[in-house]
Amino acid sequence: MQKQEIKCKQCGTDLEVNPGYITWCEHCDWNIDPTSEVPRKKAIFHRFNMFLGKKFSKNLYNEINQSDRFRPRLNLSWVFAFIFSIIIYTINLTVVLFFIRIGFNIFNAYRDLAGFVGLLIFFAIAYLFIPKFKKDNVNPIKREEFPHIYILVDRLTDMMGAPKIDDIVLTNEFNASFSQIGLNRKRILFLGLPLFYLCNNKERIALLAHEIAHNMNGDIKRGVIVGGALKLIENWIFIVAPAKIRSVYVVDIYLEPVVILINCIRWLISRVILSFWYVLALLLWRNSQRAEYYADYLESRISGTDASVSLLQKIQYITTYYSVIERISSFAYSRELFSELEHALKALPEREKQRIERMNMKYESSVDATHPPTRLRIEFLKNHHKEVESSIDNELVIRASSELEVLKGDVENYLIGLFKH
């Protein structure tokens, strides 16, 4: 079959077209990331971390790589972050008490229906500022129904010396995460089944060990005080910032200028509040990034460096996974989704792998904005290589994986349904 070629629109180089994959130029990087010009509205934490990552990721990597201590240490930034967080809580408490006091003053002044309504209004405003812990309304799998996955996680936490995981929640994402929720700070491991299914046994150990490591890696952003302060500031912005300067609900032409003026004032106040958030996020950035490297290090001591690296490399190909899912959803040529995903990964042309690696290097891509660039994490792991012959009973991993196989059909239907119109 004759090869199809086109010329690079930027430098004129002849480019081979590989049907089903992005055509790009290795000489000038034309079309290396066709989505890069698509505007995307990101959360403030994402945008700020991306900005800091581009500026300081390499310097932090060099510092950590030359050290033999990876765990985040107590330093001035850590101390200032705690002090600043306490100030945020104090301001929030003052605001809550201020609105409650106004409510009582109005009620005492009128002592009628209008006073009672005023009391309720200011109590409602005060309630908006009261810290709210994320409710423990997740739906974890039960230990008696999935005993081996819990045994596997318990075994890993014992080996790593980490606090026990309370519950495991299964998701339909190509990712996994750890969180503490509720007033009792219940430890939850969120396990993305699509990613778990695509991993081999050693990579599954690496995936679980990495999330368990987040339960012991010294990231103060996950704590109640500092993490709660960030949430408080985000809540202030949500309350104060207007959705739009011009409201679509105002029909009176004489009232509209007043509403615009009020919304402009609200927007300016929200920018001041946002500066508080940036100060705290700046104080936390190095700690969070170091904590992620430390989690990688702890994980590799259990799974071995090779498994940790191959897991990160698989996560890099998430766009490939979604392309396969979209094709299956559109043409319905297969119902064995994960078999097709595994085949697509094995059949991925070397040129497409080069494009993804080049794109990651160009943009210092990471799993998400809170993580160091994936390329640097892989380099870090390779520089601290660890061979592990038998970190955990392979039969236990097989049994735990078999338990979760019963859910594969539901996950496949969910993922295919995402692209159905």
For every residue of 115-168, which 3-state class applies, written as one string?
HHHHHHHHHHHHHHHCCCCCCCCCCCCCCCCCHHHHHHHHHHHHHHCCCCCCEE
**Which of 250, 265, 290 represents a domain boundary (last residue)?**
290
Do both 333 and 371 map to the same domain? Answer: yes
How far does the chain reach from its first CA to its final CA, in angstroms? 35
Is the pLDDT at 39 greater than 50, yes or no? no
Do both 297 and 285 map to the same domain? Answer: no
Do both 298 and 279 map to the same domain? Answer: no
**Which of residues 418 and 152 earns the better pLDDT score?**
152
Highest mean pLDDT among 58-67, 116-125, 340-349: 116-125
pLDDT of residue 37: 45
Do both 361 and 397 map to the same domain? Answer: yes
Indicate the burial class of 263 (C-beta count within 10 angstroms; 0-12, 13-18, 19 or more). middle
* 249 three-class SS: coil
Do both 282 and 242 map to the same domain? Answer: yes
Do both 330 and 359 map to the same domain? Answer: yes
**Which of residues 308 and 71 earns the better pLDDT score?**
308
Is residue 170 a part of any domain in this protein?
Answer: no
Number of structural domains the chain divides into: 2
**Which of 271, 290, 309 represents a domain boundary (last residue)?**
290
Is the pLDDT at 119 greater than 80, yes or no? yes
User: Cα-flanking dihedrals φ and ψ of residue 209, to 5°?
Assistant: -65, -35
Is residue 376 a part of any domain in this protein?
Answer: yes
Is the pLDDT at 389 greater than 80, yes or no? no
Please state, in angstroms and rounded to a whole number, the distance separating the CA atoms of residues 190 and 202: 19
Contact 141, 169 (CB under 8 A): yes
pLDDT of residue 51: 59
What lies within 8 Å, CB to CB, of 131 at 6+ separation is 92, 228, 231, 232
> Which contacts (CB < 8 Å, 24+ apart) does range 18-22 have?
18/349, 18/351, 18/352, 21/349, 21/351, 21/352, 22/352, 22/355
pLDDT of residue 66: 80
pLDDT of residue 1: 46
Average pLDDT score over residue span 209-214:
93
Is residue 237 a part of any domain in this protein?
Answer: yes
Do both 81 and 65 map to the same domain? Answer: no
pLDDT of residue 333: 62
The pTM of the full predicted model, rounded to 2 decimals, is 0.80
Do both 302 and 398 map to the same domain? Answer: yes
250-272 residue pLDDT tens? 556 667 788 888 889 999 999 99
Is the pLDDT at 179 greater than 70, yes or no? yes
**Which of residues 132 and 370 earns the better pLDDT score?**
132
Taken in order 159, 162, 164, 165, is the CA torsion positive or negative?
negative
Highest mean pLDDT among 290-299, 336-345, 347-356: 290-299
**Which of residues 118 and 46 earns the better pLDDT score?**
118
What lies within 8 Å, CB to CB, of 327 at 6+ separation is 333
Is residue 83 a part of any domain in this protein?
Answer: yes
Confidence of residue 28 (pLDDT cuts 50, 70, 90): confident
User: Cα-flanking dihedrals φ and ψ of residue 172, to 5°?
Assistant: -105, 30
Average pLDDT score over residue span 212-225:
83
Structure tokens at 25: 């130029």
Is residue 150 a part of any domain in this protein?
Answer: no
Contact 384, 299 (CB under 8 A): no
**Which of residues 348 and 252 earns the better pLDDT score?**
348
Is residue 120 a part of any domain in this protein?
Answer: yes
Please state, in angstroms and rounded to a whole number, the distance separating the CA atoms of residues 237 and 72: 30
Is residue 119 a part of any domain in this protein?
Answer: yes
Structure tokens at 56: 């300081």
Pure H helices in 34-112:
44-65, 76-110
Indicate the burial class of 367 (C-beta count within 10 angstroms; 0-12, 13-18, 19 or more). middle
Average pLDDT score over residue span 399-407:
91
**Which of 265, 290, 315 represents a domain boundary (last residue)?**
290
Is residue 105 a part of any domain in this protein?
Answer: yes
Confidence of residue 247 (pLDDT cuts 50, 70, 90): low
Do both 253 and 371 map to the same domain? Answer: no
Contact 218, 291 (CB under 8 A): yes
Do both 330 and 304 map to the same domain? Answer: yes
Do both 410 and 313 map to the same domain? Answer: yes
Confidence of residue 317 (pLDDT cuts 50, 70, 90): confident
pLDDT of residue 41: 44
Full residue range of the structural domain in which residue 244 is found: 76-130+222-290
Average pLDDT score over residue span 305-327:
85
Please state, in angstroms and rounded to a whole number, the distance separating the CA atoms of residues 237 and 416: 37
Contact 195, 261 (CB under 8 A): no
Do both 372 and 230 map to the same domain? Answer: no
Contact 300, 384 (CB under 8 A): yes
